[in-house]
């Protein structure tokens, strides 16, 4: 079962103590750590930052590319508390972790991009505690994202991702000690219905009773919800009704609501309280949220009933030295750059990002397509090249599929659970560029989409990004998508370097064939782009030059204008980013509109010109 994934917050009833800092770190090439008693602590170590990706901290290439088991250790002091629940929360550990506290295994987690929480009330000591993690960053075809490992002659392993971003790993997001009330808000969800001058807000809340006998306690618990506007004035308040021992539900109406909107965000604070019959406050939890609706109607995407055109980027959590570590300054700069060039949306390609990205998007009025790390579901180390060849790259016919699907479902569940209340999240993307032409792929994804639909209280649009082999004639899965996302590289992987005339013709031909299907759904171009070396100039424009990038975008935009069903353009990529080494990558993927240190290439101005007007 997934524990509470609420964002860790200090409130009048809750404490959050950060365990971030320098932790002990050691590689375990031979996987002997367990036998050697590393769970109790290890003697040879280096100190590294948590949160952090370890790869770019070192000068030794065998550490940079290290693949296998590695261990982290820290000590923390626990204050004396009575009648409290104590938890450890890990923002993300990539890709899997086994956690030991004072020598005892207390939990494990699969998946490197979502948080997990372990209840340590019974295992934590007052005073000193030793926390140890065994982490593993190997890739396979049963977990997400997919890839494989190569065993080298000296026994070491090298990650071989089936995806185009560096396999950054480690404890990449913050670690917190949470001291919570024994009776606490475990989860809540919000759903909105807008009428003339009124918003009906439906609330569901789940309660955790820790080890308390709920038979005796639940009758004593009452639940309340309050919405406060931006000026601190109460907008609505109500007692929630008991659904069963663990759940409360209800509805409040807000008159003249100030809606959250695209680049015009208005936020309410929602406060949830659990109170005993005699007025003792058990728990209080609040968050900022926005009231808005999302819908797809024919070929349109609607926010609060108004058509919206998505402008922006596919991104990565990626920065020099930090790797995939969340950093407020980098995120702030990214939002500033995106606002400067008129963007309103990004896709969290190809995994859920740190919580703080969504909070910042809520505050900025940005739209997010939230993507699960289902990438690399095609047996190839460079899908981005194979995508254009039309050759059949099977995937869903193998014995690994049932376990993969179980993990996929779990990550969809964790992502929706964590992100469902953010107004910025307007859609969930359940895959990036898998094989979708087989009957098996349809069977596989039907189950994923069905489950996601059940899980999302707001029933937001569900989508996934389709690569070139997923053509209108062959793709089995586009009927599962509420809006269709296409990743297309006409003028780069297809007919790149030749006259754009040929690329344009091929692109139009494909779009004509989609049009002929009459699917009556919006399409969003979720990837299009070309590698460009900042500062490389050429007249006439040739591949890799800034001039070529500008011409490439001019051609793509010309095409989009002629197809009304295209309701969004998310350029690949916001910034240059790190990948595995290879003959197609010069110090990483250079399709950024901004360089890796967030300075504009000339196409940033081309986009600004277009998006400020659109």
Q: Which residues are catalytic?
A: 433, 527
CA pair distance 271, 32, nearest whole angstrom: 48
Closer residue to ligand GCB in complex, CB, 184/589: 589
Residue 589 contacts ligand GCB per CB under 6 A: yes
Residue 487 contacts ligand GCB per CB under 6 A: yes
Closer residue to ligand GCB in complex, CB, 260/523: 523
Instruction: Supply the minimum distance, in Å, between the C-beta of residue 371 and ligand GCB.
Output: 10
Residue 433 contacts ligand GCB per CB under 6 A: yes
Among residues 76, 116, 384, 552, the one that binds ligand GCB under rule CB under 6 A? 384
Instruction: Supply the minimum distance, in Å, between the C-beta of residue 345 and ligand GCB.
Output: 17
CA pair distance 594, 40, nearest whole angstrom: 45
Residue with tokens 């602590």: 41
Closer residue to ligand GCB in complex, CB, 355/527: 527
Among residues 164, 284, 334, 569, the one that binds ligand GCB under rule CB under 6 A? 164
Burial class (CB in 10 A: 0-12, 13-18, 19+), 143: buried
Dig out the tokens for 335 from the structure.
Answer: 């939002």
- Closest C-alpha to 318, from 66, 110, 53: 53
Closer residue to ligand GCB in complex, CB, 365/434: 434
CA pair distance 533, 157, nearest whole angstrom: 31
The angle subtended at Cα 436 by Cα 433 and Cα 440, nearest 5°, is: 135
Between strands 523-527 and 484-487, the pairing is: parallel
Size of the site for ligand GCB (CB under 6 A): 13
Residue 386 contacts ligand GCB per CB under 6 A: no
Q: Which residues of 354-372 are buried (b: 16+ CB within 10 A; e: fewer)?
A: bbbbbbbbbebbbbbbbbb
Site map for ligand GCB, 72-111, x if CB under 6 A?
----------------------------------------
Among residues 318, 355, 527, 576, the one that binds ligand GCB under rule CB under 6 A? 527
Cα atoms in the 13 Å half-sphere on the side-chain side of 45: 18
Closer residue to ligand GCB in complex, CB, 8/464: 464
- What Rg do the C-alpha atoms of the chain give, in angstroms? 25
Instruction: Supply the minimum distance, in Å, between the C-beta of residue 570 and ligand GCB.
Output: 11
CB 86 within 8 A of CB 207: no
Instruction: Supply the minimum distance, in Å, between the C-beta of residue 507 and ligand GCB.
Output: 15
Closer residue to ligand GCB in complex, CB, 120/494: 494
Among residues 89, 315, 417, 591, the one that binds ligand GCB under rule CB under 6 A? 591
CA pair distance 573, 549, nearest whole angstrom: 12
Instruction: Supply the minimum distance, in Å, between the C-beta of residue 145 and ligand GCB.
Output: 10
Closer residue to ligand GCB in complex, CB, 85/591: 591
Rounded to 10 degrees, the C-alpha dihedral 180/184/186/191 comes to: -130
CB 140 within 8 A of CB 146: yes
Instruction: Supply the minimum distance, in Å, between the C-beta of residue 486 and ligand GCB.
Output: 10
CB 466 within 8 A of CB 457: no
Residues numbered 245 to 304 that lie near ligand GCB (CB under 6 A) are none
Specify which residues 44 forms β-bridges with: none
Instruction: Supply the minimum distance, in Å, between the C-beta of residue 33 and ligand GCB.
Output: 33
- Closest C-alpha to 324, from 49, 3, 5, 118: 49
Instruction: Supply the minimum distance, in Å, between the C-beta of residue 112 and ligand GCB.
Output: 16
- Closest C-alpha to 570, from 525, 506, 538: 525
- Closest C-alpha to 27, from 62, 52, 59: 62
Residue 358 contacts ligand GCB per CB under 6 A: no
CA pair distance 365, 263, nearest whole angstrom: 4
Q: Tell me the torsion sign for CA atoms 232, 237, 239, 240.
A: negative
* Residues 6 or more apart whose Cβ sits within 8 Å of residue 510: 471, 472, 488, 490
Site map for ligand GCB, 40-69, x if CB under 6 A?
------------------------------
- Per DSSP, the three-state class of 447 is helix
CA pair distance 300, 201, nearest whole angstrom: 24
Instruction: Supply the minimum distance, in Å, between the C-beta of residue 389 and ligand GCB.
Output: 13
Dig out the tokens for 512 from the structure.
Answer: 């004509």
Closer residue to ligand GCB in complex, CB, 253/380: 380
Inter-residue long-range contacts of 123-129, CB under 8 Å, 24+ positions, other chains counted: 124/78, 124/86, 125/78, 126/78, 126/79, 126/80, 127/77, 127/78, 128/75, 128/76, 128/77, 128/78, 129/75, 129/76, 129/77, 129/78, 129/101, 129/102
CA pair distance 295, 288, nearest whole angstrom: 22
Residue 334 contacts ligand GCB per CB under 6 A: no
Residues numbered 554 to 573 that lie near ligand GCB (CB under 6 A) are 572
Instruction: Supply the minimum distance, in Å, between the C-beta of residue 593 and ligand GCB.
Output: 13
Residue 467 contacts ligand GCB per CB under 6 A: yes
The angle subtended at Cα 133 by Cα 129 and Cα 135, nearest 5°, is: 175
Q: Which residues bind ligand GCB (CB under 6 A)?
A: 163-164, 350, 384, 387, 432-433, 467, 487, 527, 572, 589, 591
């Amino acid at each position: 079962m997934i524990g509470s994934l609420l964002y860790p917050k200090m409130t009048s009833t809750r404490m959050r103590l950060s365990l971030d800092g320098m932790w002990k770190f050691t590689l375990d090439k031979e996987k002997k750590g367990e036998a050697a008693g590393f769970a109790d602590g290890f003697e040879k170590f280096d100190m590294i930052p948590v949160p952090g990706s370890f790869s770019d901290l070192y000068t030794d290439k065998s550490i940079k590319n290290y693949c296998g088991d590695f261990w982290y250790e820290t000590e923390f002091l626990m204050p004396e508390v009575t009648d409290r629940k104590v938890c450890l929360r890990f923002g993300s550990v990539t890709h899997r972790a086994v956690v030991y506290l004072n020598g005892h295994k207390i939990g494990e987690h699969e998946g490197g991009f979502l948080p997990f929480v372990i209840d340590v009330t019974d295992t934590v000591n007052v005073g000193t505690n030793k926390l140890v993690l065994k982490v593993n960053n190997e890739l396979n075809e049963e977990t997400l994202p997919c890839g494989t490992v190569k065993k080298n002659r000296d026994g070491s392993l090298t990650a071989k991702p089936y995806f185009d971003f560096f396999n950054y790993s480690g404890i990449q997001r913050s670690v917190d000690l949470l001291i919570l009330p024994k009776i606490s808000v475990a989860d809540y969800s919000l759903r909105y219905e807008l009428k003339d001058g009124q918003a009906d807000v439906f609330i569901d809340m789940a309660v955790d009773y820790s080890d308390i006998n709920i038979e005796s306690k639940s009758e004593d618990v009452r639940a309340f919800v309050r919405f406060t506007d931006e000026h601190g004035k109460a907008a609505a308040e109500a007692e929630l009704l008991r659904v069963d021992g663990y759940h409360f539900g209800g509805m409040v109406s807000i008159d003249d609501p100030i809606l959250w909107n695209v680049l015009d965000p208005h936020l309410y604070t929602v406060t949830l309280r659990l109170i005993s019959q005699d007025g003792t406050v058990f728990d209080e939890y609040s968050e900022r949220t926005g009231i808005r609706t999302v819908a797809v109607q024919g070929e349109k995407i609607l926010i609060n009933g108004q058509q919206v055109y998505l402008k922006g980027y596919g991104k990565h959590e990626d920065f020099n030295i930090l790797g995939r570590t969340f950093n407020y300054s980098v995120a702030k700069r990214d939002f500033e750059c995106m606002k400067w060039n008129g963007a309103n949306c990004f896709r969290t390609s190809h995994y859920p990002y740190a919580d703080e990205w969504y909070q910042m998007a809520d505050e900025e009025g940005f739209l997010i397509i939230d993507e699960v790390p289902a990438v690399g579901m095609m047996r190839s180390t460079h899908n981005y090249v194979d995508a254009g060849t039309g050759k059949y790259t099977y995937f869903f016919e193998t014995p690994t599929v049932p376990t993969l699907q179980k993990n996929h479902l779990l990550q969809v569940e964790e992502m929706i659970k964590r992100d469902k209340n953010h107004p910025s999240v307007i859609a969930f993307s359940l895959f990036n560029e898998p094989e979708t032409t087989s009957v098996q792929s349809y069977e596989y994804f039907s189950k994923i989409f069905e489950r996601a639909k059940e899980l999302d209280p707001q029933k937001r649009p569900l989508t996934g990004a389709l690569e070139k082999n997923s053509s209108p004639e062959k793709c089995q899965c586009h009927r599962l998508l509420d809006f269709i996302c296409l990743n297309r590289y006409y003028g780069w992987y297809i007919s790149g370097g030749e006259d754009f005339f040929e690329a344009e013709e091929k692109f139009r031909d494909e779009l004509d064939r989609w049009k002929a299907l009459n699917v009556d759904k919006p399409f969003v171009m979720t990837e299009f782009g070309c590698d460009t070396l900042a500062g490389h100039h050429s007249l006439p424009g040739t591949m890799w030059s800034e001039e070529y990038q500008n011409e490439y975008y001019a051609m793509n935009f010309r095409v989009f204008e002629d197809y009304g069903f295209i309701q969004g353009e998310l350029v690949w990529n916001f910034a240059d980013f790190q990948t595995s080494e290879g003959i197609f990558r010069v110090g990483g993927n250079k399709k950024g509109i901004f360089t890796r240190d967030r300075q504009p290439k000339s196409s940033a101005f081309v986009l600004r010109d277009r998006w400020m007007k659109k």
